Amino acid sequence: MKPNMRIPCVIMRGGTSRALFFHDKDLPKDEGQRDKIILSAFGSPDLRQIDGLGGATTSTSKVAVIKKSERDDADVDYFFGQVSVDHPVVGKTMNCGNISSAVGPFAIDEGLVEVVEPITRVRIYNVNTKKIINARVPVKDGRALTEGNFAIDGVPGTGAKIQLEFNHPQGAVSGKALPSGNPINTVEVEGKIYEYSFVDAANPVVFVHASQFGLKGTESPYEFEARTDCKDISRLLEVIRGTAAITIGLAKNLDDAAKNSQTLPKIGIYTEPVDYVTPDGKEIKKEDIDIVGRLFSMGRMIQAYMGTGAVCTMVAANIKGTLVNRIVTGGNGVCKKLRIGHPFGIMEAEAELDSTNDGADVSCAMIGRTARRLMDGFVYVRAE
């Protein structure tokens, strides 16, 4: 029997997610061997991830692999992996905006970029989506600054604000903002017609109105999972999500989408601004938000809101006729600042716009996040 292997590793929180960070040089080049090491590090597949460092949720089962970039327009290359909790799968087709916010601080503290105080701009090339993200990271004494007065809902306390700039985020997977060419699509499921908007920006997201499923749209993950019809609604959402996956070639059929394209596209339920109370008792007033959204990842409603999901929602808000555009602007306007009401609070996104015949083209979408290094050392993985 071989002893466990030890591999240098950093655990970082980025936004409302957490990930294991590795240097590319510390992992094998062979993709299959690399996946085995990552799965062992997380303790997947296992619903508790008890034999690894995973947190048994999609938000805490993520991996980032970083290396110094050879590109002229980037400082570091960043690969993101969504590690399945209950399947031996490392999803590679998507990016995570929350974890993207931790890439800049990691690169600074690991000596991968030249440090400039008080703000260091880190140009990040996301390998998954082949897009450039600029991270503006506060720095002090040569290290990424952690403490600050910027708060994000879903994370206790405050931290130093990291601004992420997603340049021309449209078409991250399909090459088009509207993969189907239409702002509204329909699909028939069990004799009923469902409407949805399918937008590809930063990550592709399917937008559906909560009312189509008998939902208020303000349900928390706990309330949703406690419903007697939770499984039925989840099954309907998966059919719609799978149909969109087929549209952009991520799956051959619905079964293939459910098995091999669990991470993308994402799907979310949305409704007009309305008052609601978060699970921890915070009152969200309708006048403080522009839309209510609940995103799902790998079949389950998530606690907060994905950074790339916010970017995609911002792009959708600026495409005439989409579900999001209808809710936010009434179907004809443009949106430069978007406030999304999620299960535990509000997430904001901003945009720089170029006018087009179809509304506005988002040339740059921006979100503010915080990040923090939690641990560094070695993770021990099973030799086999």
Question: What is the number of other CB atoms lying within 10 angstroms of the CB of residue 190?
Answer: 9
Contact 199, 178 (CB under 8 A): yes
Contacts of 90 by beta carbon, 8 Å cutoff, 6+ apart: 35, 38, 39, 63, 81, 82, 83, 84
Contact 9, 20 (CB under 8 A): yes
Cα(161)–Cα(163) distance, integer angstroms: 6
Cα(369)–Cα(244) distance, integer angstroms: 29
> Alpha carbon 312 to chain centroid distance?
10
Secondary structure (3-state) at 111: coil
Cα(155)–Cα(13) distance, integer angstroms: 10
- State the amino acid at position 321 in one-letter form: G
CA distances from 178 to 45, 226, 266, 315, 366 (A): 34, 34, 15, 10, 20
Which position among 9, 12, 298, 306 bears the catalytic label?
A: 306
Which position among 12, 96, 301, 347 bears the catalytic label?
A: 96
Phi-psi region of 318 (alpha: psi -120 to 50; beta: other; left: phi over 0): alpha
Which helix (H) or strand (E) segment holds residue 44: the answer is none
Cα(342)–Cα(284) distance, integer angstroms: 9
Contact 69, 125 (CB under 8 A): yes
Cα(94)–Cα(380) distance, integer angstroms: 26
Cα(106)–Cα(303) distance, integer angstroms: 25
Q: Confirm whether 96 is a catalytic residue.
A: yes
Cα(275)–Cα(285) distance, integer angstroms: 5
DSSP string, 130-179: TEEEEEEEEEETTEE----SB--TTSSS-B--EEEEEES-BTSSSSSSST
What tokens appear for 74 in the block?
């980037």
Residues designated catalytic: 96, 306
